[in-house]
Structure 1
Amino acid sequence: MEFKVNSIEETTNIGFQLGKLLNSSDIICLTGDLGTGKTHITKGIAKGLNIDDTITSPTFNIVNEYTSGRLKLNHFDVYRVSDPDEIYAIGFDDYIFSDAVSIIEWANYIEEILPKEYLHIHISKDLAKGENYRKITLTDYGNRYSYIKELKL
């Protein structure tokens, strides 16, 4: 599934619509260059989960936990992770195999330890089409994410 957007608000709205559909234990893997909107998607997902907290990228913490919504949210940023052992040391499996929704920014950095089933969201930009133009591609790995076909904007 692919979306083309031209604003931060449209990017965040895709996350919001997705967040309303997410289920317990869902895993969302985000990839894309710096500044493409991974955290904006995450903010939208959190809003769709009824989380009112301020969402920030956990670049130095590796993971932020949010517990105030319809479902708990674990938000990972593995940009600075240089070795999968580093992510295991924080209890990665305990987080992603919990009942919380887990979002992993820069998931391509830890591809070898991702579970078999997850929803991959890749965001790319094309400055020739505008500063805020983004192509957002959703790919489901496993049967549990077939509900993304219900995503309407």
Structure 2
Amino acid sequence: MSTPTLTRTVRSESPDATHRLGLRLGELLQPGDFVGLIGDLGAGKTHLVRGVAEGARVPRSEVASPTFAIVYPYRGRIPLYHADLYRIADYDELYATGFLELPGGDGAVLVEWLDRVPEAAPREYLRVTLYPTHEDARELYAEAFGDRPAALLAAWLP
């Protein structure tokens, strides 16, 4: 694994604050961006994802958990591909889903449970790990791998 180009840590005191962090990230996403999310069940990934989708101007009614579909495409300001790897055992199984054939440049990719199949991440990407600290509070640790992800992270969490 390579060394991050840039890291940031931010604390979220509530699900609404986590949603707002996602909203800001979604406003900044560009085609080709890849964001991997890591965190235990209940860590706040869904709140962040819903915020990202809203920030990318995806209608709220379209945002669902893709746990059973693996990948769910959304139409917004840019195409947003939301994947959930929770039920994926390894890279070979992921390959069989067609995930690796997602259009690389026409939209952004948002992947929950990236730690289940870390090799699914491209060489350059943004990784966000969510840690519950107490009750509704979360710490988000973001790592950028590459120049574009570093610029995205610097704009998201200056």
Same fold (TM over 0.5): yes
The correspondence of residues 27-42 of structure 1 with structure 2, limited to 5 A, is 27-42=34-49
Amino acid at match of 2:155: E
Give 5+ residue unaligned stretches, structure 2: 1-7
For residue 10 of structure 1, report the CA deviation from its aligned partner: 0.2
Aligned residues: 149
Q: Is residue 57 of structure 1 aligned with residue 61 of structure 2? A: no
- Provide the rounded CA distance (Å) in 1 between the counterparts of 2:97 and 2:136: 35
The CA deviation at 1:152 is 5.2
Report the 3-state secondary structure (helix = DSSP H, G, I; strand = E; otherwise coil) of the residue aligned with 1:65.
strand
Query: Which runs of 5 or more residues in structure 1 are unaligned?
Result: none
- Structure-to-structure mapping, 1:1-153, within 5 angstroms: 1-54=8-61, 55-67=63-75, 69-95=76-102, 97-127=104-134, 131-145=135-149, 146-151=151-156
Query: C-alpha offsets along residues 74-98 of structure 1, whole Å, 9 cap, x if unaligned?
Result: 1111001012122112222221624
**SS at 2:97 equivalent:** coil
The aligned counterpart of 2:5 is none
Query: Under a length normalisation based on structure 1, what TM-score does the superposition of the two structures give?
Result: 0.91
CA RMSD, Structure 1 to Structure 2 (Å): 1.5
Asked if 1 retains the 8 angstrom alpha-carbon contact of 2:39 and 2:129, the reply is yes
Quote the Cα distance in structure 2 between the aligned partners of 1:99 and 1:17.
20
2:85/2:112 contact within 8 Å kept: yes
Q: Which amino acid aligns with 2:20?
A: N
Please report how far the alpha carbon of residue 115 of structure 1 lies from its aligned counterpart in structure 2 after TM superposition.
1.0
CA distance in 1, matches of 2:147, 2:123: 10
CA contact 2:22–2:49 (8 Å) conserved in 1: yes
